[in-house]
Amino acid sequence: MASLIDYSLLKPSLTFDDIRRMCREAADFGFYAVAVNPCHTALSASSVKGTSVKVCTVISFPFGLSKTELKVVEAVKAVEEGATEIDFVLNISAERSHDFEYVYRDAKAVVEAVKRSREDVIVKAILENAYLTNEEKVRSCQACVTAGVDFVKTSTGYAPGGATIEDVVLMRRTVGQKVGVKAAGGIKDFDTFVRLVEAGANRIGTSHGIEILKDIP
């Protein structure tokens, strides 16, 4: 279970010492990755060096409204500083405006730039489902798959709602088995974790990873 968790270290109030401590926790508990803001990428990479923990940097977080060119610069810089996974937020305004060509171009630009920088870096697109209709979720997922993302992700954790079973089922059905589904937002207990995995999530983003593992019956 621990190996499915991206341990979220995203609160803006976290100090550098908090980041170092939580990176040590991630290694101690065997989490797959730490998810951090761009300014903490290099610090996190040095803090998990010599462990199996990956560094996942969030881009255009949490609103996704940066210009595509800036998302590209931010993502490539994160890779240069040690990120091996990139979670970028799609343009929520474009999604809600049904401009899925924009969504596609936005995603494709990030994917191509990151893969040119380092081919094995995993790229995840965050839809922010709390603001979207089911049709918008499906069409955003389809645009992302065409753009070449490795994962689609439910939420940032900063919207009115987070991961739901229904959304994970819908996203998995839409992307098939070749693209990953990451559930994030409001995941705090073992039961919710298991239900999301059973629904089709193969990565879980949470700041409550330790509590979830301690909650195992």
Instruction: Give yes or no: 106 in active site.
Output: no
Q: Is 182 tagged catalytic?
A: yes
Compute the C-alpha angle 124/140/188, nearest 5°: 55
Q: Please give the C-alpha separations between residue 161 and each of 25, 154, 164, 183, 200, in angstroms, as whole numbers.
A: 27, 10, 9, 12, 19
- Is residue 67 annotated as a catalytic residue, yes or no? no
Which of 124, 150, 153, 167 is the catalytic position? 153
Query: Which residue is catalytic, options 54, 71, 137, 182?
Result: 182
Contacts of 43 (CB under 8 A, 6+ apart): 16, 19, 20
For residue 217, the tally of other CB atoms under 10 A from its CB is 4
Q: Which of 87, 106, 150, 167 is catalytic?
A: 87
Cα 159 from Cα 186, distance rounded (Å): 10
Rounded distance between C-alpha atoms, residue 43 and residue 28, angstroms = 18
Query: What φ, ψ does residue 14 adopt, rounded to 5°?
Result: -65, 135
Q: State the helix-helix crossing angle for 165-175 and 134-147, rounded to 10 degrees.
A: 40
Question: Backbone phi, then psi, for 122, in 5-degree steps?
Answer: -85, 135
Residues annotated as catalytic are: 87, 153, 182
